[in-house]
Amino acid sequence: MKMSEDHRNKKSHSRNARRRSRELALQGLYQYCLNPGDIGEIDAHIRDAPGFDKADLEHYQSLLIGSVHNIEALMKQIIPHIDREWNELSPVEKSVLVLGAHELANHLDIPYRVVINEAVELTKTFGGTEAHRFVNGVLDRVAGTVRQAEITAQQSVQ
């Protein structure tokens, strides 16, 4: 079955809009990690960023607001899978891990491999040289707990 050009363009736009949402939510979460404060102010600042209009607004809001409101629970999911103290992680690593853990737990419509890949790409763009490998490993282990049914189903198909 061939996908129409129009359908491919819509899917591509949707992927790009989600990626932009992740980038913007990451920037907001990064600001929050550096200086926990009023998420409303951070959100307002992010909404003024160039290219905000190209983001998937609903996804952005879910990522930023959901990550901040659930940060303690998300950290509890992440911390058992890291090899050092939480306060030794860079702000980018913390932000990407929290964002990825939130997306894994709350956006079951997005395949776990896509969530992890997007987190890795964000880390390659904004993080340190080898940070993407660390993020990949940690989120893969988090996915093993929060997306166990999806992973098991996928393994049984292969």
pLDDT in tens, 116-125: 999 999 999 9
pLDDT at site 38: 87
Rounded-to-integer distance, Cα 27 and Cα 14, Å: 20
Q: Which residue's entry shows tokens 């098991």? A: 152
pLDDT tens profile 76-103: 999 999 999 999 999 999 999 999 999 9
Contact between 18 and 56 (Cβ < 8 Å):
yes
The string of pLDDT tens digits covering residues 22-32 is 999 999 999 99
Give the sign of the dihedral formed by CA 93, CA 123, CA 43, CA 78: negative
Query: Is residue 12 very low, low, confident or very high in pLDDT (cuts 50, 70, 90)?
Result: very low
